[in-house]
Chains A and B, each alone.
Chain A
Amino acid sequence: MKKKKWWTMGRRESLQGYIFIAPWIIGFLAFTLGPLAFSLYASFTDYNITSRMDFVGLQNYDQLFTGDDLFWTSLYNTLYFVIFSVPLTTMGAIFISMLMNQSLPGMRIFRTIFYLPAVLSGVGVYLLWMQLLDPGTGLVNTVLSWFGINGPNWLFDPDWTKPSLIFMKLWSVGGSMLLYLASMQGISRNLYEAAEIDGAGAWKKFLHITLPLITPVIFFDIITSTIGSFQIFQEAYVMSQNGSGGPASSMLFYNLYMWIKAFQSFDMGYAMAMSWILFVVVLIITLINLKLAPKWVHYEGDDK
């Protein structure tokens, strides 16, 4: 009798649990799983949202890999951006949080200043950078001219458009800086004191204590910023000529090309095939990261 009552209580509680997470389940089915399934199927069709949806097998994928130069251009541009922006922002954030992890006067103000650019986003920021990087009237080339440097044409020169965007990205490095700072402040002071007794200098202490202990955050940061950088879109849409990724397709990133295919020429089947390729690429990179993690990520308690 007692056992039976316990059962119903447990079940009643489970039911409440399901009610609590019901909104997420409904949303997941309607806005994630359903669309994923539809998109996977449609990527094998010539779907154009209004009239056509004929099964074409692997034709979209075949066309992408063998007959579409812009696909490769957009992939190259995106990889370029990922390969430079992820390590640069990671190293920048670690460096700044190191400087910040000291007791010096004005630290709260520094933290505010370094974090502020990271909370600003959207079209306002892009317009600001278009002005800063303007070859004639912008701040960047003005400052360079003080040092006798003739600045490049930035957003108008195909060779400089991607560095421009990376430069802009570095401005908001304060966001991940906070993650590193939080984890550095959790490191026990005793470890440093012990190292000082052994005669370790600032660099040695960073290399042998700080760096290993923040590897979980580095890992987290690299995974999330890699996934994020692969999806660069808005910057290129707003800052390139007519949102086309110009000049010379140098800002035609993967997502921008997908956008043009999906919502300008309504080649939806084709665009969805593109989205699945991106998904698989991101997934593979994430899995490689996860696989490599045990080799360099240090988890508390590992060495006990």
Chain B
Amino acid sequence: MDMTERKQLAKKRERRKPVLSNNLLRTLNWVLLVVGSLFLLSPIWWMISTSLKPMEEIMQFPPTLLPQEWHWENYVHTWQSAPFTTYAVNTITITLICVVANVFVNSFIAYGFAKIPFPGKNILFTIVLSTMMIPGFVTLIPQYVLFAKLEWLNTYYPLVVPALFGSAFNIFLLRQFFRTIPNEMIEAAKMEGANHFYIWRKIALPLVKPALATVAIFSFNGAWNDFLGPLLYVNDESLYTLQIGLQVFKEQASTQWNYLMAGSLLVLLPVIILFFVFQKYFIKGANITGSSSFDK
């Protein structure tokens, strides 16, 4: 797509938005958005501000909106008061494995559902979708029994092995993208003697790169923020992830809010950075989910 085409498309999109004719309403609309934004941002600003205050200043009434002195050493103190470095390394390890497995496996499965005809496909895909409706705890308890019998407790296997077998939401998301690839393209490749493994790897995957990025980012978020899994399966402190470490730190630090906020911010920071860098992929995922509810 060249620039003029892209500009025209943007213009078209702009024109589709309903424009409020009334200037008063437009102003009100804008003011509401500004007020809403301030509301939504205030918790994050409060977290940063609290994390930089000394405890005496936090306790003082009325509270200060900005720290009188900026105590950056709160962050160093927090990081050193628990083995956060170990937690971070553990979390990064699990997250990386899950992201790679999710992107690779789900795109493989989704391609099968999107582009290869085989008997029973529709029924099986309906089952994929209906598994999303099963409350997690229904399978969580028997899965725990299974992993206990396999002697996988206190290891990372329960956290990463299930990721090797795909997840319903990602299969659904990627299938929607693969379906946009014209069948003629795949037929043409088949005529030249290519099998589906070749077509998946050489033709289909490069065409859905943005969707793969979306899945990678959602998986990153999911694995990074996973609390339930490590809470259930990991006991040794040396295996703790950041989420568990933070929870334990909460008990330790009781109401030392400056340290608690510093720790929370450090744990949230990678996700915040990822969000600002790859925002368009986050939004793409939401758009696909939203627009496919029209399919039905």
Contacts and interface: CB of A to CB of B under 8 A. Distances in A.
Contact of B117 (A13, A116, A217): A13
Contacts of B47: 128, 131
A85 to B, nearest CB: 16
A113 B40 contact: yes
B232 interface: yes
B63 interface: yes
B84 interface: no
Instruction: Pick from B117, B243, B264, B265 the residue with the most CB of A within 10 Å.
Output: B264
A185 interface: yes
A231 B145 contact: no
A128 B117 CA distance: 50
A148 interface: no
Contacts of A189: 15-18
Contacts of B276: 112
B21 A196 contact: yes
Interface in A124-138: 124-125, 127-132, 134, 136-137
A1 interface: no
A23 B105 contact: yes
Interface stretch (B68-76, B208-216, B283-291): B283-291
Interface residues of A, number: 108
Contacts of B135: 227, 230-231, 255, 275, 278-279, 282
Given A31-B162, A131-B261, A227-B133, A113 B282 contact: no
B225 A122 contact: yes
Given A131-B261, A137-B257, A282 B133 contact: yes
Nearest to A98: B29
A32 B138 CA distance: 9
B268 to A, nearest CB: 4
B229 to A, nearest CB: 11
Interface string B51-91: 00000001101110000000000000000000000000000
A99 B137 contact: no
A18 B118 contact: yes
A96 interface: yes
Interface string B115-132: 011110100100110010
A-B interface, 10 closest residue pairs, ranked by CB to CB distance from nearest: A27-B165, A20-B112, A17-B118, A35-B142, A179-B290, A220-B293, A17-B116, A122-B225, A124-B264, A178-B286
